[in-house]
Structure 1
Amino acid sequence: MVSVSRLEGDHAFVKQSASQEHSKGNEVPPEGFEIPVYVMCHYLENSGALDVFLCKADDEQSLLDTLILAQWEEHAFRGLLNYDVTSCETKIVDGGKRLTAQLNMEWNPNFLKEFEKRIFKLPGGIIKPSYMKNNLEDILCCVTTGEIEKSMVACLAAVPLEGILIVSNANPVEYGHIFLVPYSIQLRTQFIGRTLHLMANIAHEVNSFSLRMFYDYFSATNADQKIYFQACYFANPLPVELLPTLPIYDSSIVDGLSIWELADYYLKALVFTSKDLKHLAAVVGEICFELQKRNAVFNLLITDYGTKMFLFPQVHLPATGRHLHAWECGGYFIYSNNAEFERASESEISRRLASASLDVKGFGALKQLCCNIASKLC
């Protein structure tokens, strides 16, 4: 268990008080429960560029990384995960793309629907009043920002007015698999810009090259889209990260933002890079907002300490079809039985990826939309 210290100061926290308007959502732990709260320094929140805080050495684990993994490993040690994902067999599929297959006969493909049903209530994807009371053992910590000069951990029987709940995933795809759930009303209503920026900040604060963050937007016709991210640790880069790219937009002289398209991949995708996390999140967030307004299906993958974001648009599949998860878009597939795992091939996976890809005309329109938004926000 990671050691923590109590944080003193003038930070705004929500406590169990019926007189507090925000508490009426019951999005607080029961009285007497101490939840680790990681408070990121305000430099990270208020400054976009990474020059103000250099990455730690590769062999130095960050405090947030230590906290999340210590909590997750204790959770696993207590037998609260459905299986040991580190014992699952993986292999590189023959072919030039180095696509990855995992054999996991216990993985539940419906785990996202079950998680949403357990944690959210309708309408609007608001957390159920009873969730934190009945599922405290699943909550590893929460992350927020504060007016402090150095990030630190507090153990408090309260949660911040706005932040991200870090919740364990009992059906992990890889080591350290977690959900990152915004519980603030403000974060939910301003998800596209505010929350994406906070996720990028968390990725940078974790400071682990192995960390990958994911977001799936499947409910294109559902007004009650549940808003949460996922993250886990991969020993190696995802296959999509190793592919060549072609530039389509570059404003590096102004703000360091560049947009690329993946070259020679079965699923058409765009890559956004910038050392200015705030601007990067603003541009990608505005693009995602436009896609949501157009009832599009898409995924996000955040890598490189929050400085790189992959956007995977998908076509609408029939009602009986299943859209790809973000890690599948990245070239990482799970097989539930040994026969399918042994038969996994690049041609079989390529067909699955290509079936979800936009056509040339649709992808061209998306590229133009992205360049227009980037130019508008530069």
Structure 2
Amino acid sequence: MLRIKRVPTVVSNYQKEEAEEGARRGGGCGRNCLNKCCIQGAKLPLYAFKRLTKIASDKGLPADESTEPPVAFLESLVLGEWEDRMQGGLFRYDVTACETKVIQGQYGFIAQLNEGRHLKKRPTEFRVDKVLQPFDGNKFNFTKVGQEEVLFQFEASEDDEVQFFPNAPIDVENSPNVVAINVSPIEYGHVLLIPRILECLPQRIDRDSFLLALHMAAEAGNPYFRLGYNSLGAFATINHLHFQAYYLAVPFPVEKAPTKKIITSAVGVKISELLNYPVRGLVFEGGNALQDLSNIVSDACICLQDHNIPYNVLIADCGRRIFVLPQCYAEKQALGEVSAEILDTQVNPAVWEISGHMVLKRKKDYEEASEENAWRLLAVVSLSEERFQEVNALIFEAIAFVDKGKGNAAQGSHEEADVKPQSIEEADAINNSPHRSRVTGTQECIVLQ
């Protein structure tokens, strides 16, 4: 059995060992939490979004949307409510005091010195060598956070119009989706989208939850507002289903990386492979409808989960581009195949780091940050070329009939009929890169069945 060093977790200000005993007392636990001891009769703001059937336009809004929403979603609601919680002292540190810079180089990796995130977190409470694990209510989960940490409920509108209700009852019988602060933030406005919070779902993507995340990206309508997902084994630190999101007004390096088209599915979803980037991954975009894109990506994620392959997801460009990045850093770490130099950085490469936003724990690493160092660290995260092709084969088999009755997803253009990437072309791209010496590893990713 692999033995993997425990990684830190993001915890609520209200996660206290002594509070567990209080939760057993009648009349609530005294923390105004989201658990059954306090939830009855509670009210929270509600943002009701319009269900989208068409892929977003270039502005990130549905092509048939002609009216402005009553609330400017990103700036007025998310950031305004987040600022209110910051003024209320609910965060573990002041992320606005963290130094940040764009590293000189072709890709523009972003470096942030965030010592507070490293010093003020507790160990995770679950195994990190299994992507799928059952929910454990005795361990930390989001029903234990204080209701003051929740910004609003996020639900589909019943009358197909965008609406905002500042004081709406929580429907306990129909578990709400909520947006809450991340008390150990990476960036200003860092929030969590928690689907169907009271169902206590483990950290695993399903079709409904992924579609919800795409709706949030489209509703924000801003390409600098991105959502991310980490599976267990890929540095998710809480086994309760959630996506992360924040606003950062610079392009992410992964968004600037070149791609090579593999195929266009029968429902119009184009699938490409990242080129000349330290972490191998797939890019999904397009589709005849938002749900077509969502179904194909979520089924790819479900395939990775079912085969115990850790992965990260970045939802970018208002939901129009989605990056799926399988990784094996934890397995390499457990096998002693990560250099001491990289381990000493104490960087846990989750979705934001893999996307190019490097959250650094030590001032030395921040001062010496370079594109070469970022590339070297991320290259360790990536699957080998051979293993990546094996994983791709699993994914394409899983999504081949994602829309039954609409044809096989492999029925793309004739010249793209072979769903496997042309590895020779990718090798040429990497060999011609100034970083080629840093992506030549042959380490396989261990997949635990």
Which TM-score applies when normalising by structure 1?
Answer: 0.79
CA distance in 1, matches of 2:104, 2:164: 45
Q: Work out which of the residue numbers 131, 135, 143 in structure 1 matches 2:146.
A: 135
Match of 1:39 in 2: 48
CA distance in 2, matches of 1:106, 1:136: 24
CA distance in 1, matches of 2:36, 2:121: 23
CA contact (8 A) 1:39 1:145 kept: yes
Match of 2:79 in 1: 69
Percent identical: 28
Match of 2:169 in 1: 157
Q: Work out which of the residue numbers 378, 391, 394 in structure 2 matches 1:369.
A: 394
Instruction: Give the match's secondary structure for 2:190.
Output: strand
Match of 1:174 in 2: 187
- Unmatched 5+ residue regions in structure 1? 1-24, 117-121
Question: 1:103 and 1:115, CA in 2 relative to 1: closer, same or farther beyond 3 A?
Answer: farther
Following superposition, the deviation at residue 242 of structure 1 comes to: 0.9
Match of 1:277 in 2: 290
Q: Work out which of the residue numbers 258, 271, 285 in structure 2 matches 1:259.
A: 271
CA contact (8 A) 1:35 1:141 kept: yes
Match of 1:105 in 2: 115
Q: Work out which of the residue numbers 241, 246, 254 in structure 2 matches 1:232.
A: 246
Amino acid at match of 1:159: D
Following superposition, the deviation at residue 226 of structure 1 comes to: 3.0
Q: Work out which of the residue numbers 194, 206, 213 in structure 2 matches 1:192.
A: 206
CA contact (8 A) 2:143 2:198 kept: no
CA contact (8 A) 1:178 1:231 kept: yes
1:343 and 2:359 aligned: no
Question: 1:189 and 1:111, CA in 2 relative to 1: closer, same or farther beyond 3 A?
Answer: closer
CA contact (8 A) 2:113 2:360 kept: yes
- Unmatched 5+ residue regions in structure 2? 1-33, 127-132, 337-342, 403-408, 410-449
CA distance in 1, matches of 2:290, 2:37: 29
Q: Work out which of the residue numbers 366, 377, 382 in structure 2 matches 1:357.
A: 382
Q: Work out which of the residue numbers 324, 333, 348 in structure 2 matches 1:318.
A: 333
Match of 1:331 in 2: 356
CA contact (8 A) 2:102 2:110 kept: yes
CA contact (8 A) 2:70 2:162 kept: no
Following superposition, the deviation at residue 336 of structure 1 comes to: 2.6
CA distance in 1, matches of 2:251, 2:291: 24
Q: Work out which of the residue numbers 85, 97, 122 in structure 2 matches 1:87.
A: 97
Which segment drifts farther, 234-243 or 175-184? Answer: 175-184
Question: 1:199 and 1:125, CA in 2 relative to 1: closer, same or farther beyond 3 A?
Answer: farther
Question: 1:86 and 1:26, CA in 2 relative to 1: closer, same or farther beyond 3 A?
Answer: closer
CA distance in 1, matches of 2:138, 2:252: 32
Following superposition, the deviation at residue 99 of structure 1 comes to: 1.3
Following superposition, the deviation at residue 34 of structure 1 comes to: 2.5
Question: 1:128 and 1:314, CA in 2 relative to 1: closer, same or farther beyond 3 A?
Answer: closer
Aligned residues: 342
CA distance in 2, matches of 1:101, 1:129: 30
Amino acid at match of 2:308: N
Match of 2:432 in 1: none
Question: 1:351 and 1:162, CA in 2 relative to 1: closer, same or farther beyond 3 A?
Answer: same
Question: 1:362 and 1:323, CA in 2 relative to 1: closer, same or farther beyond 3 A?
Answer: farther
1:181-219 CA-partner distances (Å, limit 9, x unpaired): 121539769842110011101111121221111111134
CA contact (8 A) 1:29 1:158 kept: no
Instruction: Give the match's secondary structure for 2:118.
Output: coil
Which TM-score applies when normalising by structure 2?
Answer: 0.67
CA distance in 2, matches of 1:301, 1:71: 24
CA contact (8 A) 1:142 1:159 kept: no
CA contact (8 A) 1:38 1:143 kept: yes
Amino acid at match of 2:370: S
Question: 1:91 and 1:216, CA in 2 relative to 1: closer, same or farther beyond 3 A?
Answer: same
Amino acid at match of 2:279: L
Following superposition, the deviation at residue 338 of structure 1 comes to: 2.4
CA contact (8 A) 1:212 1:302 kept: yes
Which segment drifts farther, 197-206 or 98-107? Answer: 98-107
Question: 1:230 and 1:129, CA in 2 relative to 1: closer, same or farther beyond 3 A?
Answer: closer
Instruction: Give the match's secondary structure for 2:217.
Output: helix
Question: 1:91 and 1:37, CA in 2 relative to 1: closer, same or farther beyond 3 A?
Answer: same
Following superposition, the deviation at residue 132 of structure 1 comes to: 5.1
CA RMSD of aligned residues (A): 3.4
CA contact (8 A) 2:204 2:231 kept: no
Instruction: Give the match's secondary structure for 1:153.
Output: strand
User: Where is the strand percentage greater, Structure 1 or Structure 2?
Assistant: 1
Following superposition, the deviation at residue 56 of structure 1 comes to: 7.4
Question: 1:264 and 1:55, CA in 2 relative to 1: closer, same or farther beyond 3 A?
Answer: farther
1:255-296 CA-partner distances (Å, limit 9, x unpaired): 330111111111111111125321112111111111111111
CA distance in 2, matches of 1:27, 1:55: 41
1:293 and 2:306 aligned: yes
CA distance in 2, matches of 1:112, 1:269: 31
CA distance in 1, matches of 2:211, 2:138: 21
CA distance in 1, matches of 2:207, 2:302: 9
Amino acid at match of 1:260: S
Instruction: Give the match's secondary structure for 2:159.
Output: coil
Amino acid at match of 2:192: F
